[in-house]
Amino acid sequence: MGVVALVPAAGRGERLGYGMPKALVPVDGVPLLARAVRGLLASGRVQHVVIAAPPSDVDTVSTVTAPLAQAGGAVHVVAGGAERSDSVRLALEHALREIPDTSIVLVHDAARAFTPPEVVRAVVDAVAAGHPAVIPVLPVADTVKQVDANGVVVATPDRAVLRVVQTPQGFDARVLLRAHESGLHATDDAGLVERLGVPVVTVPGHQDAMKITTRFDLAVAEALLARPGG
């Protein structure tokens, strides 16, 4: 059973505004991408990592991530695409072409650099137990409103049945390929799979698996590292 993690890291990081791809932005001297890959390999469940890098930064990303392979997994770097879904598809095609026995695929944002290894293990183990699609989730803390085009509230969904979705999202490799070949569109990989009619199950996520999007999030990440035992 081969477990391959795809890491979309080809975004420009415009909201963070660092003038470099977000994946390469350091926190305490270590780029977000390196932290994300390290967490995947530390789970002990991932044999290969395929990173989708910004096309102009493939060499830099290879240099930054090559030493991580010593942590017990092979690291591959491919050029990403214009949208996140293109980057995932390019990494998936590489995995299915180049890595024999790819049966379980994780998709994990480089921007979720502090995801604890136990979340990775929970996702892999649920896919290995026979669930074709698995996502880590958290309860919703705020009340959520649905609004119309004018910003007027039209509904208040019951918060108790809502979840916030994180990564890594885990899939049977054939199911994820079918989802990406379907021509459907969704804001995440599980959304694509859901549209195929495949059941998507949830496992507990973790607050540390937050996505780093803005300067505020980066400040939170720095605070995470400053915790005792950080």
3-class DSSP state of 54 = coil
Q: Which is nearer to ligand CTP, 75 or 131 (CB)?
A: 75
8 A C-beta contact, residue 3 and residue 124? yes
Angle ∠(168,170,176) on CA atoms, nearest 5: 120
Q: First and final CA of the chain: distance in angstroms?
A: 33
Q: Select the residue interacting with Mg ion from 5, 10, 11, 109 (CB under 5 A).
A: 11
Interaction partner, residue 37 (ligand CTP, Mg ion, none; CB < 5-8 Å by kind): none
Q: Which is nearer to Mg ion, 11 or 136 (CB)?
A: 11
Instruction: For residue 187, give the nearest of 81, 85, 51 by alpha carbon.
Output: 85
Q: Looking only at residues 80 through 109 of this chain, which bind Mg ion when binding is defined by CB under 5 A?
A: none
Interaction partner, residue 202 (Mg ion, ligand CTP, none; CB < 5-8 Å by kind): none
Q: Which is nearer to ligand CTP, 51 or 177 (CB)?
A: 51
Q: Which is nearer to ligand CTP, 20 or 128 (CB)?
A: 20
Residue 76 forms beta bridges with which residues? 50
- Residue 178, Cβ neighbours under 10 Å: how many? 16
Minimum distance from residue 91 beta carbon to ligand CTP (Å): 8
User: Using CB under 6 A as the criterion, which residues of the chain lie in contact with ligand CTP when the complex forms?
Assistant: 8-16, 22-23, 52, 80-84, 87, 109-111, 211, 213
Minimum distance from residue 56 beta carbon to ligand CTP (Å): 12
3-class DSSP state of 152 = coil
Instruction: For residue 36, give the nearest of 116, 121, 137, 138 by alpha carbon.
Output: 116
Task: Based on the shown chain and the rule CB under 5 A, indicate whether residue 21 belongs to the binding site for Mg ion.
Answer: no
Q: Looking only at residues 108 through 137 of this chain, which bind Mg ion when binding is defined by CB under 5 A?
A: none
**Residue 133: exposed, middle, or buried by beta-carbon count in 10 A (0-12, 13-18, 19+)?**
buried
Omega before 168 cis (within 30°)? yes
Q: Which is nearer to Mg ion, 8 or 136 (CB)?
A: 8
Interaction partner, residue 136 (ligand CTP, Mg ion, none; CB < 5-8 Å by kind): none
Minimum distance from residue 111 beta carbon to ligand CTP (Å): 4
Interaction partner, residue 12 (ligand CTP, Mg ion, none; CB < 5-8 Å by kind): ligand CTP
- CA 55/CA 5 separation, integer angstroms: 19
Q: Which is nearer to ligand CTP, 13 or 31 (CB)?
A: 13
What is the contact surface with Mg ion in residues (CB under 5 A)? 11
